[in-house]
Structure 1
Amino acid sequence: MAVFVALGAFLMTLAGGWTAQRVTDRRHLVLGLAGGLMLGVVGLDLLPEALEAAGREVFGVPAALLLFVAGFLVAHLVERLLAAAHGGDEHGGDEHGGDEHRRTPEVGLTAAGAMVGHSVMDGVAIGAAFQVGEGMGLAVALAVIAHDFADGFNTFTLASLYGNARRKAVAMLVADAVAPVVGAASTLFVTIPQPVLGGYLGLFGGALLYLAAAEILPEAHHRHPAGPTLLCTIAGAGFIWLVVGIAE
């Protein structure tokens, strides 16, 4: 079941990459909805399950919450490291084309490769959640599928932005699409102990929340009217609330 559901992430990643080549002005609505779905899954389903599964406390704080914070900070650190690697594009250059001299294909491929590694862990999260229960698995899969549109979009954009040929950018996009399926398949051969599973879901939840709050939603609201995008975000979170309520 986990592998079958992960195929949705495969298709959504390809859709994101396809959109990156044909950007329209409606992308902000899709990203707004994705951010709401991710927020709803983390706060209403994933974190409560992680707290229940992880069980024990560390120095007065539930282990799942500590790992949740750690996941948020790790995602922030990775983003800052990537931003530092791209610093030449942000701060250098001028109207005479200085940016182009700082764009190296290797940087783009490295950044896209990091997205592929992240997508493998997305697949592991889907498989791990299905080990908790089918309802949990479907909720996490929905969050992953929602934000994999942005993953596909960003993977193709990062690879091509730094001067890589289109075929290399497409190859990285395909690798990013396959990655969640590989990650989900890996959990078919390993049963994760309940405390470890709870800790991992907490860690993944922190990273997922960071992606929603620091990447997806700011991009959704960038240079667009906030009203319709905000409604999409609220609708995404509300939909997850409905799903959780029905599942219970």
Structure 2
Amino acid sequence: MAVVVALGAFLMTLFGGWVAQRVTDRRHLVLGLAGGLMLGVVGLDLLPEALEAAGAEVFGVPEALLLFVGGFLFAHVVERVLAVRSTAHGVHGDGATAPGAPTKGGRETGGRVPQVGLTAAGAMVLHSLMDGIALGAAFQVGGGMGATVALAVITHDFADGFNTYTLASLYGNARHKAIAMLVADAAAPVVGAASTLLFTLPEELLGAYLGFFGGALLYLAAAEILPEAHHEHPALSTLLCTVAGVGFIWLVVGLSGH
């Protein structure tokens, strides 16, 4: 049953990515909404679940919060290291290319490193895999629990698909790479749900992962997505899209009974 429900998550993820592609002429609105969705997922879904699953303290601080901060710092370090490597190969921090240095397929990346986008999208795929595992585990507990988790997974997978495509394309990756990451993200819940027929993930390990991933996702939303959304279009409509994204995740979490 869990695998069948995961197919709904597969379709919802693809739909989210399709929406992100279709509104490219309103890029600032797309990014504003994506930032709000990511902020909502982190603050209202991932972090509470992480604290509940991995509640043990390490030197007076909950383990999940330590990993949350670690995930934030990890994302920051990875981006800075890749940016330094890019600069060393002839790309300046403002996105300009040094004389004689090759461009990335002739595309302007705005100083952003494509590998960062692929890494972030890959993290979204891993998150969707964990969604599938959670879905399968919930159905092992009972039909009622499975239905509750299924509602949450299927609904917020729209945001996952939207964010996966946006993250990959924002950093200058070719469209076919962004689509490949979207398809991988869509298939991940199905694979995760099927895997629960073979093993069960310890709750504490799941909580630790959610905390770390939440920190990395928050960095991308706060330091990259939202500043980019307001850089050229500091409009009220962009801000409203961000608030709407957070509100949507709040609605999903409330309906799912978290």
* TM-score (norm: length of structure 2): 0.74
Q: In the alignment, what sits opposite 1:235?
A: 244
Q: In the alignment, what sits opposite 2:53?
A: 53
Identity between Structure 1 and Structure 2 (%): 47
Q: In the alignment, what sits opposite 2:28?
A: 28
Q: Distance in 2 between matches of 1:44 and 1:147?
A: 16
| Secondary structure class of the residue paired with 1:90 | coil
CA shift for structure 1 position 235: 1.8
Q: Are the structure 2 counterparts of residues 83 and 139 from structure 1 closer, same or farther at C-alpha, using a change threshold of 3 Å?
A: farther
Aligned pair partner of 1:146 in 162, 172, 181: 162
Aligned length: 230
Q: In the alignment, what sits opposite 1:197?
A: 206
1:69 partnered with 2:75: no
Which amino acid is 2:162 matched to? A
Question: What CA deviation, in whole Å up to 9, does each residue of 1:168-188 have, x standing for no partner?
Answer: x34423321222134323322
1:44 partnered with 2:44: yes
| Secondary structure class of the residue paired with 1:89 | coil
Question: What CA deviation, in whole Å up to 9, does each residue of 1:59-105 have, x standing for no partner?
Answer: 221111111111111221222222223222225997xx745624356
Mapping for residues 103-114 of structure 1, pairs under 5 Å: 103=103, 113-114=118-119
Q: In the alignment, what sits opposite 1:2?
A: 6
Which amino acid is 1:153 matched to? S
The 8 Å contact of residues 63 and 208 in structure 2, kept in 1 or not, is answered as yes
The 8 Å contact of residues 118 and 167 in structure 2, kept in 1 or not, is answered as no
The 8 Å contact of residues 46 and 136 in structure 1, kept in 2 or not, is answered as no
CA shift for structure 1 position 116: 5.4
| Secondary structure class of the residue paired with 2:233 | coil
Question: Runs of 5+ in structure 2 lacking a partner?
Answer: 106-111, 139-148
Q: Distance in 2 between matches of 1:99 and 1:10?
A: 40
1:79 partnered with 2:83: no
1:124 partnered with 2:129: yes
Q: Are the structure 2 counterparts of residues 145 and 129 from structure 1 closer, same or farther at C-alpha, using a change threshold of 3 Å?
A: farther
| Secondary structure class of the residue paired with 1:225 | coil
* TM-score (norm: length of structure 1): 0.77
Q: Are the structure 2 counterparts of residues 170 and 138 from structure 1 closer, same or farther at C-alpha, using a change threshold of 3 Å?
A: closer
Q: In the alignment, what sits opposite 2:142?
A: none
Aligned pair partner of 1:176 in 181, 185, 188: 181
Bigger drift between 192-201 and 81-90 goes to 81-90
Q: Distance in 2 between matches of 1:226 and 1:195?
A: 42
Q: In the alignment, what sits opposite 2:235?
A: 226
Q: Distance in 2 between matches of 1:109 and 1:207?
A: 17
Q: Are the structure 2 counterparts of residues 245 and 178 from structure 1 closer, same or farther at C-alpha, using a change threshold of 3 Å?
A: closer
The 8 Å contact of residues 54 and 64 in structure 2, kept in 1 or not, is answered as yes
